[in-house]
Every structure is written in C-alpha cells, then in structure tokens.
C-alpha cells in the first residue's frame, strides 16, 4: 500500500477537501504538512457542510487520526475556535483523533496585525494574502525567533522568547509610527489557550514513523496549490511555504521514502483568488458564468475567484515540479452545456511560442495564451459515478487533458457530494 500526497495542481481551491475526504476511506492517518488557517476546505457529507481551514479533512471521519505537522503554522486561538465549531456540528475531537507537532510554529496577534498592515498599505506591499498572519509567522520561523507549540508547556520560560520576538517586531512598529506591543500582551494570549493546545501536542515525527512502520496508510493533505509555492509559484504572488509534494516529507518529519503516490487536484477550468498573473482569465460573460455555476468564492475570505479556461501549460508544469503520478479532475459538471470549450496549450511571449510559465514576474504578465477549441457536450455530467454516465464528448475532453498534461486522470469528481466520484485508479493500491 502506498502513502499518498494530495496537492493542488493550480492556484488552490481545486476541491482538495472532498478528494482527501474521499481517499480517507482508505487511509488510517491524515496529515497537514504546510500552510495555516489560510486553507479553505469545504466538505459536503450527507448534505451537511463542514468548512475547515486548519484541521485536516480526516477530522470529520470517525476512526481516523488527524495530524498537524511541523510544517504548519498554527494560530492557537483559531484552532480552539475551529474545534469548537466542529464539535457543535457533532464531530468528536480529542487526543484520540488529533495530534499537533510540538515543533510547529505559532501565529500570534502581532503576525496578523503586520500581515493586514502590509496588505492595506499603499507602499506596494499588497500581494493578496488572507491577512491571517501566515507569512509573518513563517518569517519568524526562518528568522529563528518563533514561539512554538512546545513553548506553551513551560510558560515560566516564555519571557525571554517573547523579548527576542518583540525586539524584531517592535522595531518594525516604531519605524511605522505604531505603538509597541507589551510583552505581557503576548504572554496573556498564549497562556489563555495553552492548556487546550497542549492536549494535542506530540512528537509527531516519531508517531508517524511508528505508524508507517506498523503498516498504517498515511494521507498527506496539502493546502493552497503548487502555483502558490514560494519557490515554484508565481512569485511574489504566492504563499509563504512550499506547497509542492516534496514538502510532505519535510513538513511532517518523515523521510521522502515514505511518499508512494502523488495525486494532483485540478479543476476542469482554472480559478485564482487575489492578485497575480492569470494567462487564461476571462473578464467576460463566460468567466462570470463559470464563476456563478461553480460558486467560486473563497472558503476563508469569501472573495470572488477569478475564472478562466483550463491551462494545460500550468498543470503540465506542476505535474513536473510535484512529481504528480495522477490527477483528480474536479468540477467537470460546471462545463455542461457549453457549445465550445477552450484549453490553453501554449503561450506567446514577445513573439515566440513557449510551453512553460517563465519565472520572471514581468514575463508572466506578458504571456498570451494559445488556445485550442473542442466541441462541448449536451446533457449533464453532474452526479455521474461511472464512465458510462458521461456524454461521449465529455470523455473526449478528459482524455484530451490527460494527453496535454502528461498525466492520467485517476479520479473524476462530478459534484461536491462525496459519492459523485468516478474512480479510475486507486492511489493507495500502488
């Protein structure tokens, strides 16, 4: 049995929550390995909607262990709030089904404030973040001044750590003409949630290794998408962590040999939230129609998503940077009834044809999509659970995408409902 990594193959919002939930039937453990509560995973189970942003999607399934790995930045107050919300919906959460890495970095109020300050500034610092403090928390992590989950276990030793943190942040605040943050403020906000968070703390690298050696099947759940990767995405309009599949190892404490199969999630079209390049964006009635049909609003922010045709260049590129073995194609039903459907198969850049997205921000803004057109289909794909339920032209579209991106479609999703999924290849069987 292979351990499976699920990553977004576009700019996020591809439907990872449903796919992870669907795959969790086969898994014993679900691990979040990067990002924070800027993720937005919506699960629809028996018409009941669960909205997750920090907790792994496996948390809603009885008998599954959910793990928040060391690569995640954890807002302790949001964690407590999200747990309370799920409990109010009937989900049981305890140490039996949730563990948090002792060495995960904490997001504090000063991180949220700095994030919002940058996003709302007129100084050119806006990049479209969720203003949840994710980026500033990662900055403190690599700056070696972060406060981590394990630090909550010894509140008496916090003073020196808070002083080190504030020597950096208060210098920034003074430069911006803002009031400095008192050490007591940070101490009090941590002390208020310490006991609750510590309930779930563990040496998750050791726990996961023991589970792996014991034959348990592990599902690694990525947040955001590969095109938001800090190294391989549309920089600087990216998130603050590595979202590609390789980070499942680093962000969980397991070696790369623990990864057996990489499943990329891609919509049958393309969406993006926030700023940054988007070669196939449609600022017309077609784009509006796709957004309306697809209910394209951010789970975390509520912001409308930008919509466009499927970009095979980008997905082919993320298949390479994440080592994707197969694709779960979602929201095929949103394209039902279109007379013609376009797919971007290449770009023009300064008069030349290229088959990749350049790394340069300026070049990304200049690329022009090269489209090929396929006939659409009559009838509906919504709710289809077998190839026989699909119109022939819809199958042709799926096969065309497979050819263009160089990866097979392993699963096909035809509605938000868990059961409306066509299994072509079970990733856990590799």
Active site residues: 13, 41
Closest to 262 measured CA to CA, from 25, 13, 33: 33
Q: What residues contact 182, with CB distance under 8 A and at least 6 apart?
A: none
Residue 65: both structure tokens together: 């262990």
319: enclosing H helix or E strand: helix 312-321
- Give dist(CA 290, CA 308) in Å, integer: 8
117 φψ region: left (φ > 0), alpha (ψ -120 to 50), beta (else): alpha
Q: Which residue has the tokens 């208060």?
A: 170
| Helices marked H in 354-407 | 361-366, 392-405
Task: Output DSSP code: residue 201.
Answer: E
Q: Alpha helices, DSSP H only, in 9-106?
A: 16-23, 76-88
Radius of gyration of the chain (CA): 22
d(CA 69, CA 278) in angstroms, rounded, equals 31
Residue 189 main-chain phi, psi, to 5 deg: -70, -30
Distance CA 232, CA 147 (A): 28
Nearest to 241 by CA among 15, 33, 100: 33
């Amino acid at each position: 049995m292979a351990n499976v990594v699920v990553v977004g193959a576009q700019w996020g919002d591809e439907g990872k929550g449903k796919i992870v939930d669907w795959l969790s039937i086969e898994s014993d453990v679900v691990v979040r390995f990067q990002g924070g509560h800027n993720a937005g995973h919506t699960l629809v189970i028996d018409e009941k909607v669960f909205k997750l942003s920090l907790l792994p999607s496996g948390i809603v399934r009885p008998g599954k262990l959910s793990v928040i790995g060391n690569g995640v930045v954890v807002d302790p107050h949001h964690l407590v709030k999200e747990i309370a919300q799920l409990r109010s919906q009937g989900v049981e959460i305890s140490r039996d089904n949730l563990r948090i890495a002792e060495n995960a970095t904490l997001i504090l109020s000063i991180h949220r404030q700095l994030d919002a300050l940058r996003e709302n500034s007129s100084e050119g610092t806006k990049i479209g973040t969720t203003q949840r403090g994710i980026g500033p928390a990662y900055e403190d992590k690599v700056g070696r001044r972060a406060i981590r989950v394990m630090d909550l276990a010894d509140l008496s030793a916090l003073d020196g750590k808070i002083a080190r943190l504030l020597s950096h942040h208060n210098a920034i605040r003074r430069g911006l003409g803002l009031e400095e943050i008192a050490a007591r403020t940070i101490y009090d906000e941590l002390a208020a949630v310490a006991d609750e968070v510590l309930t779930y703390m563990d040496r998750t690298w050791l726990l996961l290794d023991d589970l792996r050696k014991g034959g348990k099947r592990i599902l690694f759940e990525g947040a955001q998408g590969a095109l938001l990767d800090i190294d391989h995405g549309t920089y600087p309009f990216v998130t603050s962590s590595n979202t590609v599949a390789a980070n499942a190892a680093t962000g969980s404490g397991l070696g790369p040999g623990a990864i057996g199969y990489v499943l990329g999630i891609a919509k049958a079209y393309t969406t993006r939230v926030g700023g940054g390049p988007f070669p196939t964006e449609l600022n017309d009635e077609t784009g509006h129609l796709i957004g309306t049909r697809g209910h394209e609003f951010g789970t975390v922010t509520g912001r409308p998503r930008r919509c466009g045709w499927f970009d095979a260049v980008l997905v082919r590129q993320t298949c390479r940077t994440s080592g994707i073995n197969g694709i779960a194609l979602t929201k095929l039903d949103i394209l039902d009834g279109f007379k013609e459907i376009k797919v971007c198969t290449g770009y023009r850049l300064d008069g030349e044809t290229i088959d990749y997205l350049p790394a340069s921000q300026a070049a990304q803004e200049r690329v022009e999509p090269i489209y090929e057109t396929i006939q659409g289909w009559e009838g509906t794909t919504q709710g289809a659970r077998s190839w026989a339920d699909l119109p022939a032209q819809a199958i042709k579209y799926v096969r065309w995408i497979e050819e263009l991106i160089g990866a097979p479609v392993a699963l096909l999703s035809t509605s938000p409902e868990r059961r409306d999924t066509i299994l072509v290849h079970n990733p856990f069987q590799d």
